[in-house]
């Protein structure tokens, strides 16, 4: 092993699952007044002809949530880097009102960005009951396990509409704690993760673009290491003949990153209930979704609404990732 010239990170965002065992320390339950304000504002926006695709921040005032929103933004930027908000008022709203209300809340933390080649700003995370026979079928549209990864935006938010019949547990881990562990045990692998990897584009590239892009799994933002990692994107890119095979060291580095995040000492489990909103800082948090069994009734299947947000007050990713997935150009 060679000694890497890096220092461990010291930050409130460096934590281990056992440090956060009491949900009362990190979960916020909306009050009845806050729930009514969100619901009433959503109904007023709908009455004004707005939709989840057209609503703007100024269209969705939430004066009763000014202080909580300021606190959540500070936690995401400078604290533990995640929040869980409970009792979102979806039970008071129609599906269209719920979508608009969720986007309206998110607009106070950031600007929604595209999540796919179609330019969708609001994603539906559910099992579409189609076979994943190629990377073009995004893993979140299945009930398969999604290993620890990050998304391509400053923030990712998930609102639970329906829970699975069984399984589907969310797990999150501090990517900075994972980084510190790898640095202490195998500093040579930090150097490997800082070199470019080839990433799959899931057949969402525009004409003239390669079906893959290159990016290191670790790069620095203002002197702080940031892990951007989706292991199956890197492995899927191996299908392209002009992508070089992964080296033994690259495979070892990927396994160590994944094994560390999957160590129960590192991750924090979360059970999603309807009305729960999880918001993560992608620069500091890795997240995972366990496999699940769904209800046969499509209306009862596990269903989350997803937002990718460019944060108003801080940047966590480089320009290639901060604006989500570019819509496909014809």
Residue-wise pLDDT tens digits, 225-257: 999 999 999 999 999 999 999 999 999 999 999
Residue 1 pLDDT grade (very low, low, confident, very high; cuts 50, 70, 90): very low
Residue pointed to by tokens 């939709």: 51
Query: What SS3 class is residue 156?
Result: strand
Residue 77: enclosing H or E segment and its boundaries?
helix 66-78
Residue-wise pLDDT tens digits, 80-94: 999 999 999 999 999
Q: How far is CA 243 from CA 148, 200, 207, 237, 320, in A?
A: 23, 10, 19, 7, 20
Q: Provide the CB-side half-sphere exposure for 162 (13 A, CA).
A: 19
Residue-wise pLDDT tens digits, 312-321: 987 655 666 6
The DSSP code sequence of 23-57 is: GGGTEEEPPHHHHHHHHHHHHHHHHTT--TTT--G
Query: What SS3 class is residue 61?
Result: coil
Percent of the chain with pLDDT over 70: 96
Question: What is the chain's Cα-based Rg?
Answer: 20
Superfamily name and number for 23-322: Clavaminate synthase-like (3.60.130.10)
197 pLDDT above the threshold of 60 = yes
Residue-wise pLDDT tens digits, 202-217: 988 888 889 999 999 9
Treating both helix axes as pointing N-terminal to C-terminal, what angle do 32-47 and 95-106 enclose, rounded to 10 degrees? 110
In the chain, what are the domain boundaries? 23-322
In angstroms, rounded to a whole number, what is the distance separating the alpha carbons of residues 97 and 103? Answer: 10
Q: What is the mean pLDDT of residues 38-67?
A: 97
pLDDT of residue 136: 86
Query: What SS3 class is residue 110?
Result: strand
Going through the chain in order, the beta strands assigned E by DSSP cover 27-29, 82-86, 110-112, 123-125, 146-149, 155-162, 166-167, 170-174, 196-200, 212-216, 218-221, 224-227, 267-270, 277-281, 285-289, 292-293, 303-311
């Amino acid at each position: 092993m060679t000694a890497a010239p890096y220092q461990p990170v010291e930050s409130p965002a460096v934590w281990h699952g056992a440090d956060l065992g009491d949900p009362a320390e990190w979960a916020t339950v909306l009050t009845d007044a806050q729930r009514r304000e969100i619901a009433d504002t959503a109904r007023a926006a709908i009455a004004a002809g707005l939709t989840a695709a057209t609503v703007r921040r100024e269209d969705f005032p939430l004066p009763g949530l000014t202080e909580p929103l300021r606190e959540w933004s500070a936690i995401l930027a400078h604290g533990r880097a995640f929040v869980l908000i409970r009792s979102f008022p979806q039970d008071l709203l129609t599906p269209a009102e719920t979508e608009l209300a969720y986007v309206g809340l998110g607009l106070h933390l950031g600007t929604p960005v595209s999540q796919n080649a179609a330019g969708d700003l609001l994603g539906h995370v559910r099992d579409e009951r189609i076979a994943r026979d190629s990377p073009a079928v995004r893993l979140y549209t299945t009930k398969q396990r999604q290993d620890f990864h990050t998304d391509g935006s400053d923030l990712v938010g998930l609102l639970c509409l329906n829970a699975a019949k069984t399984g589907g547990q969310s797990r999150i881990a501090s990517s900075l704690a994972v980084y510190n562990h790898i640095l202490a045990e195998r500093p040579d692998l930090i150097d490997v993760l800082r070199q470019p990897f080839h990433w799959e584009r899931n057949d969402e590239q525009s004409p003239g673009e390669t079906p893959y892009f290159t990016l290191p799994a670790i790069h620095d933002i203002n002197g702080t290491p940031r892990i951007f990692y989706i292991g199956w994107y890197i492995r899927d890119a191996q299908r392209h003949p002009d992508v070089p095979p992964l080296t033994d060291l690259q495979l070892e580095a990927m396994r160590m990153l994944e094994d560390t995040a999957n160590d129960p000492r590192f991750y924090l489990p979360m059970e999603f209930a309807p009305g729960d909103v999880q918001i993560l800082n992608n620069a500091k948090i890795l997240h995972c979704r366990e496999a699940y069994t769904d209800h046969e009734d499509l209306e009862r299947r596990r269903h989350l609404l997803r937002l990718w947000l460019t944060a108003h007050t801080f940047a966590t990713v480089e320009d290639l990732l901060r604006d989500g997935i570019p819509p496909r150009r014809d």
